Amino acid sequence: MSVVVLVTSIVVLLVLVMFLKSLRLKHSFETVEPVELIKVDKEIPARHLSEAIRIKTISQSLMEREDYKPFLQFHNWLDKTYPKAHAVLQRKIISEFSLLYLWQGLDTSLKPVLFSSHMDVVPVERSTMDVWEASPFKGEIKNGFVWGRGALDMKHQVVAIFESIERLVEMSYQPKRSIYVTIGHDEEISGKNGARQIAAYLKRKGVQLAALLDEGGMVSQGMIPYVDQKAAFIGIGEKEYLTLNLYAKGSPGHSSNPPRQTAIGVIARALALLDDNRMPARLNLILQTLEGIASLLPFQFQFALANSWIFKPVIIKLLEKQTQTNALIRTTHASTVIKGGIKDNVLPAEASAKVNFRLLPGDTREKVLKNVHNVINDARVKITIDEADAWGACKVSTIQTPAYNTLELIIRQVFGNIPVAPLLLIFATDARHYQEICDHLYHFSPLRVAPEDMKRLHGVNERISVDELVKMVQFFARLLRVWGDAEF
């Protein structure tokens, strides 16, 4: 046998093996039979969400102790709006403003589950007020949407959970396992006085959770390159949050006699070097995500995915094209604050900047800090960790659990037979505070969103479809019953 024939045979065999590997991907999934969902008068949750939005629970104001009354008003509103739910739920106030509810189960041998949410919202920038199509704190209902701050983050989830509990109580439902519902008051500013203190209280009580659900993944389309169909994404972990301070000293004086580089120039150069030298990309959790939606991928993407050991550079190149998927494959950074100078004709005595990092699982603070020092390589720049603005990652939860399996099932029962895939969250939630009392932390907000809707989060024209709000109520009513009765 000639060398050419031998090489050709090996190549053909290799291609055949690679082709067969691509066929083993999950190209289809078992069809889920539809179930009867609770009937919901869509005007009721829409009206209640509208009322909730009108209560200005801005956590920034609370942190500055400017206005805490809206948070107490929100407590009273919940009590008044959901009397049946409050008749069966035991309520405890944590840190003055956060709420912990317990729906006592019939079987105390079963570990409880927890549904996490928060009442606080981010402020609205005054400069954007003219851009809003509806006033951000009036909760207007128009054109089939409820408008206002909190419509997507996350008063919609608070309302949906309580609407579903109210209905289940009307149906005389009683869960087998105990169910906790938490409503934090400071999630948008770290959750250290809300969710963290709730978790500490539960730990002192000896509570160990079977599973937890917080905000996170959604039903979306267009999030992954070349995928235009709908898919659901369940968050199974979060990236670590780290902020570094960069500082440089300068020589103050008159700007007519400048040095080669001012303190501002030193910091600007350091930031430019970081932008030009990103942390390396890695394919870890993203492979689980892609495998979960493999049936929606074009064949060439499936082929590359099934043989990632050889096509890793190609997959990375594809995922780097979009900022959202790029954030799923590497530790990212963003220069967010820069300060320096007091007058246009005075040389700055100092300059500083803040650079925010979101760490991919597997990267550490020490690794990032070492990389930043190596990239900048300038003794004039002092680099330190901003301990006030740094917190650990939310551990990655396994998807091989009954809690995850039932969550996936209910998503498809409510939203149709669509692919469901695990996802690494690139933002932080309150869930990370519960890691010591729960091994299975999942993130899902049950609504359908388009890519343009994501810009409304913390942005202008935040809104939610009235029909999507109904879906949320139906989803939570179903999940509360299934998790409430399942023996896992």
Query: Catalytic amino acids?
Result: 120, 187
- How far is the C-alpha of 297 from the C-alpha of 226, rounded, in Å? 7
Q: 153 near 49, Cβ under 8 Å?
A: no
User: Quick count: other Cβ atoms within 10 Å of Cβ 322?
Assistant: 15
Q: 475 near 414, Cβ under 8 Å?
A: yes
- How far is the C-alpha of 213 from the C-alpha of 403, rounded, in Å? 10
Pairing of strands 381-385, 240-249: antiparallel
Q: Dihedral of the CA atoms 434, 435, 440, 446 (nearest 10)?
A: 40
Pairing of strands 231-238, 211-220: antiparallel
Residue type, 330: R
- Both tokens of 102, joined, read 């317990």
Q: First and final CA of the chain: distance in angstroms? A: 60
The residues, ordered by sequence, that sit 6+ positions from 312 with a Cβ below 8 Å of its Cβ are 283
Q: Cis omega before residue 154 (within 30°)?
A: yes
User: Quick count: other Cβ atoms within 10 Å of Cβ 122?
Assistant: 18
SS (HEC) of 323-354: HHHHCCCCCEEEEEEEEECCCCCEECCEEEEE
- How far is the C-alpha of 93 from the C-alpha of 55, rounded, in Å? 19
Task: Give residue for tokens 């934090």.
Answer: 184
Q: 481 near 176, Cβ under 8 Å?
A: no
- Both tokens of 483, joined, read 């998790």
Which residues are paired to 241 by β-bridges?
358, 391
Q: 482 near 406, Cβ under 8 Å?
A: yes
User: Quick count: other Cβ atoms within 10 Å of Cβ 216?
Assistant: 22
Q: 336 near 275, Cβ under 8 Å?
A: no
DSSP secondary structure string for all residues of 254-318:
ETTS--SS-HHHHHHHHHHHHHHSPPPP--SHHHHHHHHTGGGS-HHHHHHHHTHHHHHHHHHHH
